[in-house]
Amino acid sequence: MLTTRAPAKINLTLHVLGRRASDGYHELESLVAFTGAGDALSLTPAAALSLEVVGPTAQAAGAGPDNLVLRAARELSARVPGLTLGAFRLTKLLPVAAGIGGGSSDAAAALRLLAHANGLGESDPRLREAARATGSDVPVCLDPRAKFMRGAGEDVSAPLNLPPLPAVLINPGVAVETKPVFQRLGLSPGERADGSAHPAVEPGMEREALWRALARGRNDLEHAAAIEAPVIGDVLAVLGGAKGSRLARMSGSGATCFGLFTTPRAAVKASRAIKAAHPGWWIKSAVLR
């Protein structure tokens, strides 16, 4: 049995640059980081492909043919003749439809396990092709380290080696569908969006400089998502008002939000205090890398 983790993806920034005339996809520029924990995936190599999903959010994720783990396996199998598949077991811990790329990270984890089982190198172009065919967030999750993703997710930078960022993640238990959030932007194919350029983020940047750069960034989906789920505004207010908070922002298309904190201790203390006040929310302290 082979095992790996599928960590949550956090969009530290998410700038919408416009909407492409060629395919209608929104063009993005997003600085992405990952948590140290998330879902867990195992693979027992075999001739047949199957998936078992367990864990607290298993029912919401589902184990049907549209699960991204199975879709990723089928996409890679279509590109690698004789690919050994097998039985996947997904332990689903992350909230679903939450803006943290849980399903995409699961799919990327499946591709990594299949690559290992079949002796494929990490740089094999068929892995990236299968990732792109599976979903727009899957390529950036193949190597879960901080990096930029651009375009519709197909353009992924090299890892940025950023300093660890103490954080608190909160999902208020409301699923937010991505499509209506983008629709609320009202961009027509070929239309460019207004907005300032993304602040410069350099590899190896020091934490204080990174905080300043992030403060000049934004998530262009935040307002639209808050219309879909007004509780997002409550979560951001709680995170922004917590002691030691440097920045509060939504991830992806929501509803998960994150707060960046001065120290890991401050993040843990804030997490405990918020849990006591909001026991129905999914709340985790984390370190983003």
Which residues are identified as catalytic? Answer: 9, 137
Nearest CA to 10 out of 230, 131, 165 is that of 165
Residue 57 has what DSSP assignment? T
Please tell me the distance from the alpha carbon of residue 100 to that of residue 94, in angstroms, as a whole number. Answer: 8
| Contact of 120 with 87, CB cutoff 8 Å | no
DSSP assignment of 128-172, as one string? HHHHHHH-TTHHHHSS-SSEEEEETTTEEPPP--PPPEEEEEEE-
Which H or E run includes 44?
Answer: strand 26-46
| Contact of 281 with 172, CB cutoff 8 Å | yes
Cis status of the peptide bond prior to 255, with omega within 30 of 0: yes
Tell how strand 165-171 and strand 2-11 pair up.
unpaired
